Structure 1
């Protein structure tokens, strides 16, 4: 599967996301260089590229493997982004993950290259990781950022 940047928005998303590398993990944080979690990373990138964040998610638990709950992250992403097939990954796409098939999606990342994504997770700074089978099998949705919010 090849991954490529398809639009100028996607190129801007990738460039901005990569500028967050090394930002420490902080639950519900949204500040580059200061602290963010995976959702804060996505919201911070969105705000830098579009000038404003799409919506604030409200309080959420730090445990993305928690049972129960609604598909709040998936629903919000569908309101603001363009849903794609999982096999259509492109650099600049937003990926949502779920820990297990019966759990809601609770982790977000942005594709930055072929089989590489950027994300924030507990006990780590913002990092680029390989989209290995352990991650690929947990994909709950793939989305393109809109040309305009």
Structure 2
């Protein structure tokens, strides 16, 4: 991934994709996990958005690592990078739960009246997994964003008289 786009560091540009898509996926995951009718209608679409969201996470961390090598080292930047490294596994858990819910739902609808008895239990387990991953991903995005803003703007907030 290039370290700059249009003369700007890539990271602040790419990170907005994560900041938009992960919370959108979190909200949509909660809807399809908790509302069976929405699951039947929207789960494949939510899974598609979740796939793009999960793919965008390594793009953001990679561009962040490129930027990290070009800025002065600080504990704030290090903390931001550590928090960011935890997002992919959490988003992956959310994606896995969504994928299982979507796949089981598709299989059960295909079998129509003869849906296997295990489908309901697997769907509930996948929903619990998706909800847990969604909650953790949502919290982690906030933590990462706050630490990133703190790393960039801490001097401005600490010295408001410098204008």
TM-score by length of 2: 0.27
Structure number with higher helix proportion:
2
Tell me which structure has the larger Cα radius of gyration.
2
